[in-house]
Amino acid sequence: MDVLFDALDRAMESARRRWPTTLFVIGAVLWVLVTAALVGFALLDSNPTAGVVLAAPPAALLAIVVARGITRLRWPVWPVGVALPVMLAGLVAPQAARYDDVFRWVVPVVVFIYAQILLGTVAAGDELFRRRVGRTGKGRALMSAIGRRRILQVKVLVATIVVLASSQIPVGVGIDDYAPGNAVGWSTFEFMFSCAAVPMFVGV
């Protein structure tokens, strides 16, 4: 799996250098579509505030990256901009294992893809910024070390939360078992895995 994702990352990086504008437009369109789906889901749930929260921080992050690049982002902008996609992809996607309904499988899958699309669009936006200010060319074609580190941190954090959240979903337990007063116990393995995951979060 690592080899597959590494190959995909290299292919996307190569494509981003060749067609940054095309990839940014495609990524932005996909991001808008996925965001519209998430906001629509929030509205169907009669929660317009959640819709605003789902759309505003990532949109602001994209706009600022295109204007200033990833490297020049002030420290609160990056964590706030990526926090929601990270938490949604890491916590919502694994919950699909608890449901049988097809529709409830679609939402977690869309949420996970959403995080990947956002990262790809942000990277393409950074490429466009660097070209606009003349920071690409011989010896300067790659994203800065800060940008690469930030992208990698988000990917590792998403993967960590997905694995941790997936390990906490009891197999064969229905939604009624999570009702107030019904205790769902952890196995020893799950407890030890949770403890072992703490250094992973600290490392990220």
Q: Where are the domains of the chain?
A: 2-203
pTM of the full structure: 0.73
Q: What is the pLDDT of residues 135-177, one digit of tens each?
A: 655 445 578 888 888 888 888 888 777 777 766 655 555 555 5
For the cut 50, the answer to whether the pLDDT of residue 125 exceeds it is yes
126, exposed or middle or buried, with CB in 10 Å at 0-12, 13-18, 19+?
buried
The CA distances from residue 67 to 46, 60, 122, 142, 154, in Å, are 34, 11, 11, 18, 21
CA-nearest of 13, 35, 10, 6 to 126 is 13
- Cα torsion angle, 56, 88, 108, 69, sign: positive
Give percent of the chain with pLDDT exceeding 70.
68
